[in-house]
Amino acid sequence: MPERQELIEQLKQINYPGFTRDIVSFGIVSDIVIAENNIEILINLKSQDPKIADQIKAEVSDTIRENNPGYTVNVHINIQQPQAQQAGGQQMSFLQNVKYKVAVASGKGGVGKSTVAVNLAVALAKAGMNVGLLDADIYGPSIPLMLGVNEQPYFDGQKLLPIEKYGVKLMSLGFLVDSNDPVIWRGALVTRALQQLMNDVKWDDIDVMLFDMPPGTGDAQLTLSQSVALDGAVIVSTPQDVALADAVKGVQMFRKVNVPILGIVENMSYFICPHCGGRSEIFDHGGVKRECERIGAELLGEIPLDAEIRIGGDKGVPVVEADPNKAQAIAFKEVAATIKEKLLNS
Ligand SMILES: Nc1ncnc2c1ncn2[C@@H]1O[C@H](COP(=O)(O)OP(=O)(O)O)[C@@H](O)[C@H]1O
Ligand SMILES: [Mg+2]
């Protein structure tokens, strides 16, 4: 009779469809039962895509059969409903009117996640999409500043109306809390605030919603992946090893909850001297590309370290809006175009 561990090793040869990660490390193999000459494998899937279920089922039964002649093999696939829809049978699915939901995430803070999120949002709007931007960074909601929004959202008696700037519809946790009153956000509070931003806001006819996430892999990430079916995650990293190691953790977390990784953006990738035009690699440029190859993620683009990008953020006019034809803006627009194409083909 095969050992459970042997079967696990055999299952590790199977990758999740479309990913270079195996199904065991993905965390979807929930049980293995070996009894007499019978092997039962239980797989828990979040994906509603029947093709994925079929492919995994076929590969698992083939692999286990080949490796264990004489045994009958049964593979059971349990498709899990997103948690928000399970709750007591009441339909609580968030953001049903939003076509594509994309998290912009990073392993650590200060890598330019919000900068990338606002520039991508404006670029996607310029590319003809109806864009929502939800600032979910509980530690420092900075999107209103970066988009130069000073007013408070209007409450129409039932819902808050997102504020529109540069063609982007925006809602921020910063509107709900007093910025002089730092809140220790954890657990249930994070969940409630995020759900409020999704549910109590009039998000109508949005093609793509970007979520500017807090750094790391904590409560907010968990809430989001359990409350909405995310269509993808964009990970922002700087080239330094520390940032990159954290970014990889972020990638792994999203993969665990079956959120496709659209790719990684290398921010502050290189520096173009404004005086001589020479290019310097301030950090160890190229690390993100290597890591992308290793973990099977796409490098979505390299954004230079550039004074105009920072000033755009401080002034509330993102560079994609202020100077759409400059190289810095084009770098963001190219990333946006790739994301758009990936979403439309997903
Ligand atoms: N490519 C860049 N070039 C120059 N400054 C940048 C760049 N990206 C971000 N910054 C600056 O770095 C700081 C941190 O960026 P921010 O987007 O707030 O990071 P995060 O959201 O990851 O904490 C901000 O002052 C921002 O203007
Ligand atoms: Mg931020």
* CATH number (domain holding residue 69): 3.30.300.130
List pLDDT tens digits, range 82-130: 554 444 433 346 888 899 999 999 988 899 999 999 999 999 999 999 9
What pLDDT is stored for residue 179 in this prediction? 60
Task: Look at residue 86 and tell me if it is in a domain.
Answer: no
Q: Which of 117-131, 164-178, 328-342 has the lowest mean pLDDT?
A: 164-178
Q: Which residue matches tokens 């409020």?
A: 196
State the pairing for strand pair 206-212/131-135.
parallel
- Structure token digits, residue 104: 């912009």
CATH number of the domain bearing residue 199: 3.40.50.300
- Structure token digits, residue 274: 């404004």
111 lines ligand 1 (CB under 6 A): yes
Q: Decide: helix, strand or coil at residue 301.
A: strand
Look up the pTM and report it.
0.76
What pLDDT is stored for residue 180 in this prediction? 62
Neighbours of ion ligand 2 (CB under 5 A): 113-114, 137, 142
What pLDDT is stored for residue 27 in this prediction? 75
Do residues 250 and 217 lie in contact, with contact meaning Cβ atoms separated by under 8 Å? yes
Q: Which residue matches tokens 């519809």?
A: 169
Task: Look at residue 198 and tell me if it is in a domain.
Answer: yes
CB environment 90-107: b (16+ within 10 A), e (fewer): eeeebbeebebbbbbbbb
Task: Look at residue 223 and tell me if it is in a domain.
Answer: yes
Relative to the CA of 305, which ligand 1 atom is closest?
A: 3
Q: Which of 43-52, 104-113, 154-163 has the lowest mean pLDDT?
A: 43-52
172 lines ligand 1 (CB under 6 A): no
**Once rounded to an integer, what is the mean pLDDT over residues 282-307?**
89
What pLDDT is stored for residue 319 in this prediction? 97
- Which of 31, 54, 80 is the last residue before a domain boundary? 80
What pLDDT is stored for residue 89 in this prediction? 38
The tally of domains found in the chain comes to 2
> Cα torsion for 337, 339, 340, 342, to the nearest 10°?
120
Determine the distance separating the centroid of ligand 1 and the alpha carbon of 110, expressed in angstroms: 6
Closest ligand to the CA of 235: 1
3-state SS string for the chain: CCCHHHHHHHHCCCECCCCCCECCCCCCEEEEEEECCEEEEEEEECCCCHHHHHHHHHHHHHHHHHHCCCCEEEEEEEECCCHHHHHHHCCCCCCCCEEEEEEEECCCCCCCHHHHHHHHHHHHHHCCCCEEEEECCCCCCCHHHHCCCCCCCCECCCCECCEEECCEEEEEHHHHCCCCCCCCCCHHHHHHHHHHHHHCECCCCEEEEEEECCCCCCHHHHHHHHHCCCCEEEEEECCCHHHHHHHHHHHHHHHHCCCCEEEEEECCCCEECCCCCCEECCCCCCHHHHHHHHHCCCEEEECCECHHHHHHHHHCCCHHHHCCCCHHHHHHHHHHHHHHHHHHCC
Q: Measuring from atom 26 of ligand 1, which residue has the nearest CA?
A: 310
- For residues 57 and 175, membership in a common domain is answered with no
- For residues 61 and 188, membership in a common domain is answered with no
Task: Look at residue 91 and tell me if it is in a domain.
Answer: no
114 lines ligand 1 (CB under 6 A): yes
Task: Look at residue 247 and tell me if it is in a domain.
Answer: yes
Closest ligand to the CA of 236: 1
**Once rounded to an integer, what is the mean pLDDT over residues 32-52?**
86
310 lines ligand 1 (CB under 6 A): yes
- For residues 143 and 191, membership in a common domain is answered with yes
- Which of 46, 80, 114 is the last residue before a domain boundary? 80
Residue 38 makes CB contacts below 8 A (sequence gap 6+) with: 71, 72, 74
- 106, 108, 115, 118, best to mutate for ligand 1 pocket (most atoms within 8 Å of CB): 115
CB atoms within 10 A of CB 246: 20
Domain that holds residue 102: 98-344
Task: Look at residue 47 and tell me if it is in a domain.
Answer: yes
Task: Look at residue 90 and tell me if it is in a domain.
Answer: no
- For residues 134 and 268, membership in a common domain is answered with yes
